[in-house]
Structure 1
Amino acid sequence: MTTLAHNPWFEKGMTYDEYTKSMKVNREELTRVYEQLTFTDEDLAVWKDVAKRNWRGIVLTADWCGDAALNVPILQRIAEQSSVELRYLIRDENLELMDQYLTNGTSRAIPIFIFIDEQGEKQAVWGPRSPEVQELITGLRSQLPAADAPDFAEKQNNVYRSFKEKITSDPAIWRTVIDSVKAAVRG
């Protein structure tokens, strides 16, 4: 992706307040994580180092996404501590950008956080999940019946509901996201 491609996307994005005010699905969960999240002194030292880089960030997300209910508030709080201005874009309204950041080259998994420098050049990308959260959902999905089973849809909905509740209420899971983001921004 060229430098010129990032800056227009950033300028097009919503602020965090605009994004949260537009939410219709997971605002309560997102707010809970945002308000209850805490950082260690070591976390704060990393965020202070990131602040020296003058980065900005583009977030591809959607309010229906359970992973976004977990990751968006954590990354927003990190951005606030790091003096990184984030701008939010709705995935399905920005597929041209989304398709440049596919998970495993095929999936439009969100949220995706694209950190850019002052010139608009990509410096780091993180998302959609920490490795531990990926392991959790992979394990839960492995317990589902075959996709053509009569109760598949019901069981899948129950899995995703319990998954979202767990990831948006368990600070140990939040810690995996913090540590994964730290690894990504350290380079």
Structure 2
Amino acid sequence: MNTIIEKSLTNSFSYQEYRNHVTLLSDEGKTTGHEQTEALVNYTKLNESRLHRLDKTMVVVDEVKAFLENLDKDYIWLVISESWCGDAAQILPIINKMAEVSDKIDLRIVFRDDNDELMNLFLTNGTRSIPKLIIIDKETNEVINDFGPRPQEAKQLIFDYKAEHGVVDETAKINLQKWYLNDKGISTQKEIVALMK
């Protein structure tokens, strides 16, 4: 596992590099990943505007800020993502704001389709669901925990919808985006902190 993580880190981006790359692709009518479809390109464009808005408006709550400011060791937060992923567009700005609070957190981002071995270590119910945050002790390279692809309440919302309707359709996606809007990143912040305690 350590070898796979180290290899992935050599291909990783800072948050700003990731954002610049996604903006460039969006402007060029492209997307990240090995598949280039009109739908994925459209999701990338939509997510670019979401990322832009959330980068400006996302706030780390006081109790989370206090915890992060008092970390006693260094961590790498390695996130597996793609530009077309709606959950990633909602969660990455939160993770970035949290990482900015502490000089003990080094945030790195990798693309799922370019890191198969890493993704296969962190499947969700057998699927390649993203985003996935891997919390790593920087000194030992030990994986402390992982989070993703979405907070528990959002997972339940999609699970319930799929149980009732048999699919995750556009209505489900809209309901999920409304949930993220109302939650303001608080569930993600609290769940990540809980994983670190």
Same fold (TM over 0.5): yes
Answer whether contact 1:13 1:88 (CA < 8 A) is retained: yes
Give the aligned CA root-mean-square deviation in angstroms: 1.9
Alignment match of 2:178 (pick from 147, 166, 179): 166
Indicate the residue corresponding to 1:151 in structure 2: none
Amino acid at match of 1:63: S
Percentage of matched positions with identical amino acids: 28
Report the Cα offset of residue 46 of structure 1. Answer: 1.0
Q: Measure the CA separation in 1 of the matches of 2:144 and 2:10.
A: 17
Q: Where do residues 75-154 of structure 1 align in structure 2 (5 Å cutoff)? A: 75-83=95-103, 84-104=105-125, 106-116=126-136, 117-144=138-165, 146=166
Q: Which residue of 2 aligns with 1:28?
A: 49
Q: CA deviation at 1:178?
A: 1.1
- Runs of 5+ in structure 1 lacking a partner? 148-154
Partner of residue 156, structure 1: 169
Superposition deviation, residue 114 in structure 1: 1.1
Alignment check: 8 A CA contact 2:79 2:134 kept: yes
SS, match of residue 113 in structure 1: strand
Q: Is the 8 A contact 1:115 1:124 kept in 2?
A: yes
Conservation of the 8 A alpha-carbon contact between 1:70 and 1:168: yes
CA contact (8 A) 2:157 2:176 kept: no
Task: Report whether the alignment pairs 1:46 with 2:45.
Answer: no
The answer (yes or no) to whether the contact 2:59–2:97 under 8 Å persists in 1 is no
Q: Output the CA distance in 2 between the equivalents of 1:5 and 1:91.
A: 13
TM-score of the two chains, using structure 1 as the length reference:
0.83
2:78 and 2:110 in contact (8 A); partners too: yes
Match of 1:150 in 2: none
Aligned partner of 1:62 in structure 2 is 82
Instruction: For 2:98, give the aligned amino acid.
Output: I
Q: CA deviation at 1:168?
A: 4.4
Give the Cα–Cα distance (whole angstroms) in 2 for the partners of residues 87 and 73 of structure 1. Answer: 13
CA deviations on 1:13-67 (whole Å, 9 max, x unpaired) are 01111111222311111222232122232111111133x3111121100111111
Match of 2:58 among 37, 49, 63: 37
How many residues of Structure 1 are paired with residues of Structure 2 in the alignment? 173
Larger RCO (alpha carbons 8 Å, 6+ apart): 1
